[in-house]
Chains A and B, each alone.
Chain A
Amino acid sequence: MMRVAVTVSVILLACGETGQEPVSAAFVVHSEGARALEVDGWAITLSRAELSVGPLYLCATAAASPDLCPVAVGEFASAVTTEVLDPGERSVGTITGVSGAVGSAMLDLAIAWIPTWTTPRPVSTSGGHSFRVEGLALRDDRSVRFVADIDVIPQFQGALAIQGLRVSGRLTPGARVTLSVRPGAWLAGLDFADLAQQAAGSDEPIELMPGSRAYNAIVIAMSATHAPTLQIDGP
C-alpha cells in the first residue's frame, strides 16, 4: 500500500514540465579560406589569419541588441581564437542555453565593452585582437608585406560589435551553430598599390595602424559589409 502511494505520488509530481529545457550545442567556425587571394590584380598570399570570436548571444528577437535581447536563448560567454587560413570547419566551443526559437544574434570579436568596464578591452581567453593577419601582396614587379592586428570595437559601453545578425532556427539539444566567415572578403577593400607606395621598397612589413584607411576598411568589412553569418542546424 505504501509502495502504491509513493508511486502515485511520484507520478503525480512528475506530471508535466515547465517548458523549454537546458541545451548544449556545438559551436563551429567555418572559414571560406584565405591562403591565396586576388585583389585588384594583386596576388595575395596570407601566412597568418587568426580570428577571435565571442562572446556571442543568440536571441529570440529579430534585431538583437542589448536593449532588445536582455535575455538570450543561447550564448557563448567567452572568447576563443582560431585560424581561418584554410577553408573548412573548426570546433571552437559549446553554446549553452535553453531550447527555443532564435531570430538573430549579437557578438563581439574578442574586444568587449561590458557594462561595468570603463573602456573596451580584450576578453582574457582570446588572442587579444579580433583579427590578426600577415601576408604578401605581389603585382608585376611590386610587392608589399603587410601585417595587421585588427580590433573591432563596440561603439559604446554595453553594446556589442555586431548586432542584429539575422539567423533563423531553433536551439535544440544536439544542435549545431555555425559561424561562417570570409576573411578574403575582408581584405578585398584594401588599396595594395597605396600600401606598396607606403612601404617604399622596405623589407619590413607595413603595419596597418588603427585609424588608417586600410585598417578601417577591414573593420567595416568584418562588422558590416562582410559580417559573419550564422546558421543553426538541428541534430
Chain B
Amino acid sequence: MLAATPIRFNLILIALLAASGHASSSDPARDLDWPTRFGRRPVADANAAEGRPVEPTLDVTVRGKRRPAPRGVSDFSIGPELLALAPHADAGDLLRTAPGVTVSRPEGDAVAHEVFLRGFDAEHGQDVALSMDGVPMNEVSHIHGQGYADLSVIIPETVQGLRVTEGVYDPRQGDFAVAGSIDFQLGVPERGLTSRTEYGSFDTVRQLLLWAPEGEHDETFGAAQLKQSAGFGQNRGSLLGGAVAQWGFETEGGTLGVIHFSGVGARAGIAGVLRVDDIDRGLVDFYGGYDTPAATAQSALSSRFVLSSRIETPYPSGARAGGSVWLQRTAFRIRANYTGFVERSETQPNWIGRGDLIEQENADLAFGGSAFYRSRRFAPARHFSGNVEAGLSLRTDVVDQAQNLLQAPQNETWDKRVDATLRTYDVGFYADTDWKLGRLVTLRGGVRADVLVMDINDRLGHFLSSFNLQSHIIGFRRTATGVAWGPRVSLDVTPLRSFDVSLAYGEGYRSPQARQLDEGESAPYAKVRSLDAGIRYAPLHDDRLTLAVSGYATFLSADLAFDPGEGSLEHIGPTTRAGITTYIAWRFRPWAIGALSLTWVHATLDAPPPATADDPSPPFEEGELLPYVPPLVFRLDAASEGPLANFGGGCLEGRVGLGLSVIGPRPLPYGQRGDVVTTLDLSARLRWRWIELGFSVTNVADARQPAAEYSFVSDWGSREVPSLVPTGHLSAAPPRAFTGSLGLHL
C-alpha cells in the first residue's frame, strides 16, 4: 500500500501538468559551486525619450558566497555537480566523494554510518567533526560511541556542497576534528517544485517532495522524504521519515541570514554480526542472521530535531561579523547482540547465558552557538595585507544514557550496566589571521582553545552486586574540567599561476567520554598533531582541471576502538598515521565531469594498549599496524551528460554516471589480511522538460563483501564448547540493488 501511494501522487501531478502545459524552470546556475540569484526587470531606455526603438535591457544581480580560504592542500570544496555524479542512498553516502573517505552502514538505517578518513577508523564520528552549515552533528559522550553523528536528518537532494578539511589546520575546527572535518552545505540551486518517487530492490520505496521558490535564495527551500524498505537478507527492514525547511534572507544592509528547522525519525532492524567460521561452515547465510530471539530482537530507533539560525553582516569598512544559534534534540535506542551468550549479570551474578542483547539508550538536548568578527583588510605595505578574526563557540548538552542487558523475546532486563545523566559545557575561542606576505606567499593561522566542564551523575557508580555486603548506597556524582588548546597554521606559496605549494600544521583534540572521568580529573582530551605538505595545480587556470597531491602525518595521543562486549569504544593507546593523497577533478562540461582520488596510509600503534586485570601485559610490537584501517582507498566518480534530441518543445537530456570504490586489503588482527573490496555503482537519467526518469544499480558486480569486520570472542551455540580465542566477525554489505525513479519538476 505504501508503494502505491507515492506513485499515485506522481500520476496525479502528471495529469495536472499535462492539463496545464506547465514547463519547468531550470536554473542555469545550477552547475556553479556557489549559489546565485538572478533578478530581471525592464529598464526605461534613454532611446525611448528620443523616439528610437526601445530594447528591453536586463539587469542581472549575481550574488556569490565566498568560499572559505583553503587551509592546506587537503581542503576540498565539492560542489553539486560532483555530488551528483554517482547514486547516493543518503547524506552519509555523499561522504564517499571526499578524497580518502570510506563509509558503510553495517548496523542498519537507524544507526549512524561508520566513517574511515585518512587512516582513521572514525567509527560513528569520533575522529571527524561533521556539521550541517556549521551546526554540529557529533554528539558528546554518546553511549554508542564518542562523537556519534547520525546524518539522517540531512536529505541528500538538499546538499549543494561539502567542505572537506582533512587535517586540523583551521582554528574554527572544534571537538572531534582529529582526522578532519566535513561540513554539509545546504541549498537547492534548481528552483521549483520537485517530486520524486523511487522503487527498487528489497521493496525499497522512497518519496521525496522538494520545493524551492523561484526568485529566492538557494538556501530557501523545503523538503520531505519518506523511505521504507524490507531490507536485504534477514531482519533489515526499515522506515524513515524526515523533513527540512530553510529560509534564506537578505536585508537592505547586506546582512545575510538563514533560519532552519529539520527533523527525522527512523527505526530499522539489525541483522547483527556473524562469525566468519559459521558462515564458512554453512551454519548461517552471509546475508542472514542467527536463528535465536537473542539475534532476531536486534533493532535501532533514532530521531533528531534541529532548530538553527545564522547571520552574517558586512560593515562599510570591509569588516564582517556574524553568529549562529542552534538547538537540537536527539534520541537513540539500540538493541544489539555482538557476542551471543557470554555475558554474566553484574547485578545478579548467578544469572548467565540469557543472551547478550545490549540495549543502549541516549537522549541529548543540546544548545549552542557561535560568533565571530573579521576585521577589514589591513595593508601596511605593498604586497603585505591581511585581516584578523576572533571567534567563539559555545555548547551545552544534557545527556541521559542507559545500558542494560535484555532477555529476548520479551526483552526483560537482566542486568543494568549504565544509568547516568551528563551535563557538559564546551566554551571555545579562537584567533585567526590571513595575510599575504608579498606576491607569492599567504600565511593563514591562529590558535584555538576549548574549556570543557563536565558534571556526571553516575547512578550505578560504586556498584554493589546482590552478593556483596551492602556498605553504601549506589551512585557516584563527579565533576571534571579540562582545557585543550593548540596552534593551527598553513603557509601557501604560489610560485606559478594556478600552482600552489602548501605546508600546514595544527593541533586538535577530541573530548573524552564523560563517564570514564574521575572526580576532579583534568579532562584528558585526546590530542592530535597533524602535518600536511602538498601541491595544488590547475593547469588550465580554471576549474576545468584540478590536481592536488599531499603527504600527511598525524599523531594521536589516545585512540579508541570498538569493544563488542560493551557495545562502545575503549582506549587502545597512541597511534600514528602517515600517508599520501592524490586528487584529480575535471569539469569538461557537459560531456565529462568527474573526480578521482587515491589515498595510501600507514597506520600504526605507538605503544601497548592500557594494561588491565584481564591482560596485565598487552602484546605490542614496534610498528604494529592498526587493524581494519584500509591502506589504500581509491574512488572514481564520473558522469557524462548532454542533449539527445529535441521534440515536443523540449530537449531530451541524458546523463550516465558511475562511482567506483576500491579499498585495499585491510590488515586484520593476528597478522591476517582481508580481501580487496571493490564496489561499482551506475546510474542513468533521462529528462524531458518536467519529467525525469532515472535508473541506478549499486554494487553492480553483486560482490559479497563485508560492511564491517571485527575480531572478538562470541558464542552463538554453533559449537558445543565455546571458543574464547578472538575470531573474525562481519556484517554484510548490501548486495546488488536496482532502483528506478520517476521525477517531476515544476
Interfacial residues, chain A to chain B (CB-CB below 8 A)? 9, 12-13, 15-22, 54-55, 57, 60-62, 66-75, 77-79, 96-101, 103, 112, 114-117, 123-125, 156-158
A residues less than 8 Å from B619 (CB atoms):
19-20, 99-101
* Cross-chain contact of B341 among A55, A96, A115, A156 (Cβ < 8 A): A115
Inter-chain contact B625/A16, CB cutoff 8 Å: yes
Residues of chain B from 584 to 634 with CB closer than 8 A to chain A in the complex: 600, 602, 604-605, 613-621, 623-627, 631-632
Knowing A16-B667, A77-B722 are in contact, say whether A61-B713 is a contact too (CB < 8 A): no
30 contacts between A and B (CB under 8 A): A13-B632, A13-B665, A15-B602, A16-B624, A17-B621, A17-B667, A18-B667, A18-B669, A18-B670, A19-B669, A22-B670, A22-B672, A60-B614, A60-B615, A60-B617, A61-B613, A61-B615, A61-B616, A67-B344, A69-B724, A71-B712, A72-B725, A74-B725, A77-B719, A100-B619, A114-B720, A114-B721, A116-B341, A116-B717, A124-B720
Inter-chain contact B632/A70, CB cutoff 8 Å: no
Which 9 residue pairs of A and B lie closest in terms of their CB atoms, listed nearest first? Answer: A115-B353, A72-B724, A19-B624, A116-B353, A21-B671, A158-B352, A60-B615, A16-B625, A77-B721
Q: Does B237 contact A (CB under 8 A)?
A: no
Q: Which of A70, A103, A123 has the most CB of B within 10 A?
A: A70
Inter-chain contact A60/B725, CB cutoff 8 Å: no
Closest chain-A Cβ to B619's Cβ sits at a distance in Å of 5
* Cross-chain contact of B604 among A9, A16, A69, A78 (Cβ < 8 A): A16
In this complex, what residue of A is CB-closest to B342? A115
Q: Which of B613, B615, B620 has the most CB of A within 10 A?
A: B615
Q: Is the interface of A mostly helix, strand, loop or mixed?
A: loop
Closest chain-A Cβ to B559's Cβ sits at a distance in Å of 14
Residues of chain B from 533 to 548 with CB closer than 8 A to chain A in the complex: none
Q: Does B468 contact A (CB under 8 A)?
A: no
A residues less than 8 Å from B625 (CB atoms):
16-19
Contact string, B544-586, partner A, CB cutoff 8 A, digits 1/0?
Answer: 0000000000000000000001000000000000000000000
Closest chain-B Cβ to A128's Cβ sits at a distance in Å of 14
B: contact size bracket: 35 or more
Q: Once the chains are docked, how many angstroms separate the CA of A101 from the CA of B620?
A: 11
* Cross-chain contact of B721 among A20, A55, A62, A100 (Cβ < 8 A): A55
Knowing A18-B670, A22-B670 are in contact, say whether A60-B621 is a contact too (CB < 8 A): no
B residues less than 8 Å from A54 (CB atoms):
721
Q: Does B458 contact A (CB under 8 A)?
A: no
Q: Does B145 contact A (CB under 8 A)?
A: no
For chains A and B in complex, what number of residue pairs have CB atoms within 8 angstroms? 133
Q: Does B317 contact A (CB under 8 A)?
A: no
7 further contact pairs, Cβ within 8 A, besides A16-B623, A67-B344, A77-B723 = A17-B625, A18-B669, A21-B671, A60-B617, A70-B713, A72-B713, A115-B341
Knowing A70-B342, A75-B725 are in contact, say whether A13-B631 is a contact too (CB < 8 A): yes
Q: Does B451 contact A (CB under 8 A)?
A: no
Inter-chain contact B620/A19, CB cutoff 8 Å: yes
Inter-chain contact A70/B721, CB cutoff 8 Å: no
Inter-chain contact A115/B623, CB cutoff 8 Å: no
Q: Does B438 contact A (CB under 8 A)?
A: no
Inter-chain contact B353/A17, CB cutoff 8 Å: no
Q: Once the chains are docked, how many angstroms separate the CA of A100 from the CA of B672?
A: 16
Q: Which of A9, A73, A116 has the most CB of B within 10 A?
A: A116
Residues of chain B from 626 to 680 with CB closer than 8 A to chain A in the complex: 626-627, 631-632, 664-665, 667-672
Q: Does B350 contact A (CB under 8 A)?
A: yes
B residues less than 8 Å from A77 (CB atoms):
719, 721-724
Inter-chain contact A57/B613, CB cutoff 8 Å: no
Inter-chain contact B565/A97, CB cutoff 8 Å: no
In this complex, what residue of B is CB-closest to A15? B602
In this complex, what residue of B is CB-closest to A55? B721
A residues less than 8 Å from B617 (CB atoms):
60, 101
Inter-chain contact A71/B670, CB cutoff 8 Å: no
Closest chain-B Cβ to A175's Cβ sits at a distance in Å of 15
Q: Once the chains are docked, how many angstroms separate the CA of A55 from the CA of B719?
A: 13
Closest chain-A Cβ to B182's Cβ sits at a distance in Å of 27
Inter-chain contact B616/A97, CB cutoff 8 Å: no
In this complex, what residue of B is CB-closest to A23? B670
Q: Once the chains are docked, how many angstroms separate the CA of A116 from the CA of B713?
A: 15
Inter-chain contact A20/B671, CB cutoff 8 Å: yes
Inter-chain contact A69/B614, CB cutoff 8 Å: yes
A residues less than 8 Å from B624 (CB atoms):
16-19
Q: Which of A21, A55, A71, A74 has the most CB of B within 10 A?
A: A71
Q: Does B64 contact A (CB under 8 A)?
A: no
Q: Does B715 contact A (CB under 8 A)?
A: yes
Inter-chain contact A70/B604, CB cutoff 8 Å: no
Closest chain-A Cβ to B276's Cβ sits at a distance in Å of 13
Closest chain-B Cβ to A232's Cβ sits at a distance in Å of 15
Inter-chain contact A79/B614, CB cutoff 8 Å: no
Inter-chain contact A79/B350, CB cutoff 8 Å: no
B residues less than 8 Å from A20 (CB atoms):
619, 669-671
Q: Which of B604, B626, B671, B719 has the most CB of A within 10 A?
A: B671
